[in-house]
Chains A and B, each alone.
Chain A
């Protein structure tokens, strides 16, 4: 199954500099990590994100809140037995934003490599 992390870097040397199209909500290490994991996992639990990203619960909650407000993720609270569990799912807008961010990052890398080669 192909994803935004696959494939070659787009060649858009004539277009505006890729940094101009970066979305501040997504272009952030932790939030990009959350979106990446949610995309790959289809659905991810709060605890998995906290462990993988090495964050405190409060800090992760703040990042999730930013993404939820932007409409990039959906947060669903439920129970597994007596234990409360919070599941995070990527929305269609979140999928698109992640794909866009990855494409921009690849363009940036391609720009840097082209500049270095000249």
Chain B
């Protein structure tokens, strides 16, 4: 067979359909969706003991008619999230490259990893601004919408936002739906959000739920991948 043995003309519809099918197969081979979900689940579960036992700074306590309100900064948790998430994205990038290379392909996760790291930086900047400038009304708390935005930029929200980018890169509707469902669970509704929590254990429970969701997602996508390969 010579390079020109295949007719140069051909049905344009068929050529286009074949090209689309080849592109689809490449995308399927590049997918390792379970990996970021697993790594991020482990990072989220790792935050639970840090929330429970890590250093927190309590200040400006004021008596209210029904109790007391204080400003609390989970100092250890903040540093944990920033370091753990950046490390997680490095591990994810390495994992994707390794798997893609083993399959004879390049990887396309760079925009996802860059988005993830950029969101960590933004999250850190917002936390620093809140600490230094103290712009939020106190003790009343900000509006529900501002609370929603702040939660969107906190580590669990940022994980969901970055997953939307991964769904777009992988052109995977199932991952898009998963990311939206995850965000729906971890974010407070913008019209009824409360500010803060009355229990020390509140954030830990939230981390367990977020981590559990990511772990379930990882297992689901791994199973789907295995089933597709055995077919």
Complex Cα gap A63–B30 (Å):
24
Establish whether residues B1 and A45, one from each chain, have CB atoms under 8 Å apart when the complex forms.
no
> Are B23 and A3 within 8 A (Cβ)?
yes
* Chain B positions 1 through 34: 1 when the CB is less than 8 Å from some CB of chain A, otherwise 0: 1111111111011011011101101110110000
Chain A, interface size category, equals: 35 or more
Closest CB in chain A relative to B173 CB, distance in Å: 15
Do residues A62 and B13 form an inter-chain contact, with CB atoms below 8 A?
no
Number of A-B residue pairs with CB-CB distance less than 8 Å in the complex they form: 89
- CB <8 Å contact, A56 and B1: yes
Establish whether residues A48 and B3, one from each chain, have CB atoms under 8 Å apart when the complex forms: no
Those of A59-74 within 8 Å (CB) of chain B: 59, 62-63, 65-66
Q: Does B107 contact A (CB under 8 A)?
A: yes
Within 8 Å of chain A (Cβ to Cβ): is B172? no
Which of B1, B9, B10, B105 is the one whose CB lies under 8 Å from A55? B1
A28-B6 contact, Cβ under 8 Å, with A40-B27, A41-B105, A109-B13: yes
| Given A43-B105, A48-B103, A66-B3: A5 and B19 interface contact (C-beta under 8 Å) | yes
Known contacts A36-B22, A105-B12; is-contact A1 B104 (Cβ 8 Å): no
Residues of B within 8 A of A30 (CB): 3, 6
CB under 8 Å from chain A, chain B span 19-62: 19-20, 22-23, 25-27, 29-30
Nearest chain-B residue to A56 (Cβ)?
B1
Q: Could you say which residues of chain A place their CB within 8 Å of the CB of B3?
A: 28, 30-31, 59, 62-63, 65-66
Q: Closest CB of chain B to A77's CB: distance in Å?
A: 14
Beta-carbon contacts under 8 Å, A1-57 to B: 1, 3, 5, 24, 27-33, 36-37, 39-48, 52, 55-56
| B169 neighbours in A (Cβ, 8 Å) | 1
A39 to B22, CA, bound (A): 11
User: B10, A29: Cβ atoms under 8 Å?
Assistant: yes
Excluding A29-B18, A36-B23, 7 further A-B contacts by CB distance (< 8 Å) are A24-B8, A32-B19, A36-B22, A37-B26, A41-B106, A46-B104, A109-B16
Nearest 8 Cβ contacts at the A-B interface: A48-B104, A43-B106, A42-B106, A45-B104, A40-B26, A108-B12, A41-B105, A62-B3
